[in-house]
Structure 1
Amino acid sequence: MEQGGAQADMSPSALIDAKIAELGDWRGEMLARLRAVIRQAVPDVVEEWKWRGVPVWYRDGMICTGETYKAVVKMTFAKGASLEDPAGLFNASLEGNTRRAIDFREGEEINEPALMALVRAAAALNKPRKKGK
């Protein structure tokens, strides 16, 4: 994707659209599917574009990122270590105290109901707490 001035004029959502189109392979398709799940799970999610090309989803704080590598599309949850994962989706970055990730490989199915529940739980963790609670 073109760097510099043209990017500065694009919204984060448009930059994510461009990234998906630029990938042009299974990784773009996977990122688009993950994005759709996130948007369905948290309709008021805010999309951002960080660290020179990483889609990031927020609501009251960071929910997750969508990084693309040669062999995986990695969905990293900022507070993943604090989330219940009854479906066992987390399969990467398990040793840390804060983050957890899911690596999706070519041809893998997405357990959309479980992923949607995980995204909703991550968004709920970001809700501001009332004083005294």
Structure 2
Amino acid sequence: MHGYLRPILLEHWGNKDPNMKVFGKMPNMPNVKGKLNYIRHMKSSKYCLCPRGYEVNSPRVVEAISYECVPVIISDNFVPPFFEVLNWESFTVFVLEKDIPNLKKILLSIPEKRYLQMQ
């Protein structure tokens, strides 16, 4: 529960919608160890949530990109690294913290063509 946003995410989305997989702790899957389970979930997701934690940046953004999952950065006033040279909005979804209750609606509003471009 690294940071104050994770409890908010769990409150709104934890075990409430089968299409919104938000975990506090990764559930055990038969024959799959911890890190492999995490990777399996990332690889099978269209969007990967990257909520702010206690630090400025998170390795989850890089993991999401490497597993071909579009990062969804949930943070107010976040300035991504290399913003001067990288067009982050071309491959990332930014969501304000107050919009966590609308997260599914926001993601579903992204057209498939746009999602494929970001991916």
Q: Normalising TM by the smaller chain, what interval?
A: 0.3 to 0.5
TM-score norm. by structure 1 comes to: 0.34
Which structure has the bigger radius of gyration? Answer: 1
TM-score norm. by structure 2 comes to: 0.37
Larger relative helix fraction = 2
Larger relative strand fraction = 1
